[in-house]
């Protein structure tokens, strides 16, 4: 995870077509997320961003997928949140 004053870059592993959409936890500082939606037409990415918006309590335009849009492993850039707050909100 990379952090500076303006944004945090979060590594995530996404499992599309899961039973429910939820955060399953952290393994070696990588966020593991189950997404109910399929990976077609960006639906899983949209669902991932929607989940992060709700959990992190930030606006949608503060979250972007920096790399990995077509894969399961992604780097997600989140502006306007501190690393400690990010871990606390995703762990609750």
- The pTM of this model reads 0.92
Q: Is a pLDDT exceeding 70 seen at residue 22?
A: yes
Whole-number pLDDT of residue 5? 64
> Domain extents for the chain?
2-91
- Candidates 3.30.1200.10, 3.40.50.1000, 3.40.50.800, 3.40.50.2300; CATH matching 2-91: 3.30.1200.10
Residues 48 and 36: beta-carbon distance below 8 Å: no
Residues 14 and 72: beta-carbon distance below 8 Å: yes
List the one residue out of 4, 80, 91, 90 whose CA is nearest residue 48: 90
Q: Which long-range contacts (CB under 8 A, 24 or more apart) does 61-68 make?
A: 66/9
Whole-number pLDDT of residue 12? 98
- 6 — pLDDT class (breaks 50, 70, 90): confident
Whole-number pLDDT of residue 92? 78
Q: Is a pLDDT exceeding 70 seen at residue 44?
A: yes
CA gap 74, 45 in Å, rounded: 10
Structure tokens at 25: 């936890």
């Amino acid at each position: 995870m990379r952090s500076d004053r303006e944004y945090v870059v979060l590594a995530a592993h996404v499992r599309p077509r899961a039973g429910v959409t939820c955060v399953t936890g952290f393994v070696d500082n990588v966020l593991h997320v189950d997404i109910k939606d399929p990976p077609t037409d960006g639906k899983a990415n949209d669902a991932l961003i929607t989940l992060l918006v709700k959990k992190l309590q930030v606006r949608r335009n503060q979250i972007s997928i920096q790399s990995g849009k077509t894969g399961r492993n992604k780097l997600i850039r989140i502006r306007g949140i501190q690393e400690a707050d990010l871990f606390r909100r995703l762990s609750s």
